[in-house]
Amino acid sequence: MSETLHQVRLRVNGLPHEIRVPARRLLSDALRHDLGLTGTHVGCEHGVCGACTILLDGEPVRACLMPAVAAQAYEITTVEGLAEPDGALSPVQQAFAECHGLQCGFCTPGFLTTITAGLRRDPCPTHERARDMIAGNLCRCTGYQNIVRAVERAATIGSERAAEIGASS
């Protein structure tokens, strides 16, 4: 018996999308397979590793734990939507590049989204708070040290860019 399909409207990275999917389609699968946004990675599919973290109205959420139909009311941001409007790397992306915050890169989209949200809440974290910010994400390669450095560097880049905007306005 074929499964009932539902019309689902998703707003992702500022653009509207309509897909027809079963009620059980996970948001992570909808993003990757229905919308082709493969930057969101899927590791554990149990809410543990954080690789699938996306932002819903700016808050980090595990896309592997949420049905796509439940995400219709939210503005979704994936790693593809983190860059600045002019295409420049966001402060977090720039900091990961500068600090070598990745090796294989599998975990990286989840870290980038998580830290983006974390620095909005806490723009100048202490070293301890920078460590806490990434406590819910797993990385098998880096040993985390460079990722913590990237959090701190991203905070600096963010405040420098804010100062530049303030000076030019």
Site string for ligand FES, 39-58 (x = CB under 6 A): ---xxxx-xxxxxx------
With a CB cutoff of 8 Å and minimum separation 6, the contacts of 121 are: none
Residues 6+ apart with CB under 8 A from 120: 58
Site string for ligand FES, 77-106 (x = CB under 6 A): -------------------------xxxxx
Q: Is 66 among the residues that bind ligand FES (CB under 6 A)?
A: no
- Order of all β-strands in the sheet with 59-62: 15-22, 5-12, 75-77, 53-56, 59-62
* Residue 64 binds ligand FES, judged by CB under 6 A: yes
The string of DSSP codes covering 62-105 is EGGGSBGGGGTTSEEE-GGG-S-TTSPPPHHHHHHHHHT--SS-
Smallest gap from residue 5 Cβ to ligand FES (A): 24
Task: Kindly state whether residue 67 participates in binding ligand FES, applying the rule CB under 6 A.
Answer: no
Residue labelled with tokens 């915050």:
101
**CB-CB contact of 124 with 159 (8 Å):** yes
Query: What is the closest distance, in whole angstroms, from the C-beta atom of residue 111 to ligand FES in the complex?
Result: 8
- Give min distance, CB of 129 to ligand FES, in A: 21
Binding mask 102-141 for ligand FES (x = CB under 6 A): xxxxxx-------------------------------xxx
- CA 93 – CA 99 distance, rounded (Å): 10
Minimal distance, residue 63 CB to ligand FES, in Å: 6
Would you say 40 and 79 are in contact if contact means Cβ atoms under 8 Å apart? Answer: yes
Binding site for ligand FES (CB under 6 A): 42-45, 47-52, 62, 64, 102-107, 139-142
